[in-house]
Amino acid sequence: MNQEQIVIKSALDAWTTYISRTGTLIQSLTDEQLQQPVAPGRNSGVYLLGHLTAVHDGLFPLFGLGEKKHPELEEVFLTNPDRPDPKRPAINELREYWDQVNNDLLHYFSQWTVGEWLQKHAAVTDGDFAKEPHRNRLNVLLNRTNHLAYHFGQLAFLKK
C-alpha cells in the first residue's frame, strides 16, 4: 500500500466500524425500544434510524452514483423533526432500508481507487474544487462518519 491507500483504509475502516456498531445496536433493539425517545424530550430511536438512513441515502447523488434509493425519507427524517407522520415507513421497512443503503454504498466504497476517493463531490463546482481540492468524496465520508458516531452515541441510550 502506498501512503494515500493507507490513509483511505483508515477512513474506510472508521466508517465500516460505526456502520457495523450501529447495525448491531439496531438489531439488538426491539421495535418498542426503537420507538422510545433516546432521552426525555429528544428524538426517538426510529427517527434517528430514518435520519441516518436518509443522510446516507443522500450519498448516492452526492457521489455521482445515481438517484437516492428512498427519496421519500427526506421529508419525514430530514426536513421535518420527529413527530407523528402518516408518511413514516414501518420500522421493519426502515430496518431493511438501513441495510440496503449501507450495503450498496459499501459495494462502491470498497472498490474505489485513491483517485476516485479524491474526486469532487456533486455539491462543488469545478471552479470551487480547483481552489478547494479537499472538498472531495473522502472529506464527505469523514464528516458522515462523525455524524453517524454523534447519533450512535445517542442511540446507545436505548440499550438498558
Exposure of 43 in the CB half-sphere (CA atoms within 13 A): 20
**Stretch near a copy of itself under the rule CB under 8 A, chosen from 26-34, 65-73, 122-130, 148-156:** 148-156
Using rule CB under 8 A, residue 62 touches a copy of itself = no
Residues 114-133 that bind a copy of itself (CB under 8 A): 114, 118, 133
Using rule CB under 8 A, residue 71 touches a copy of itself = no
DSSP element (H, E) containing 99: helix 91-109
For 44, the 3-state DSSP assignment is strand
Retrieve residue 4's grid coordinates. 494515500
- The answer to whether the beta carbons of residues 70 and 97 sit under 8 Å apart is yes
Closer residue to a copy of itself, CB minimum distance, 70 or 102:
102
In 3D space, the residue among 66, 47, 39 whose CA is nearest the CA of residue 154 turns out to be: 39
Using rule CB under 8 A, residue 139 touches a copy of itself = yes
* Residue ranges in contact with a copy of itself by CB under 8 A: 1, 3-4, 6-11, 13-14, 17-18, 38-40, 42, 114, 118, 133-134, 136, 138-139, 142-143, 145-147, 149-154, 157
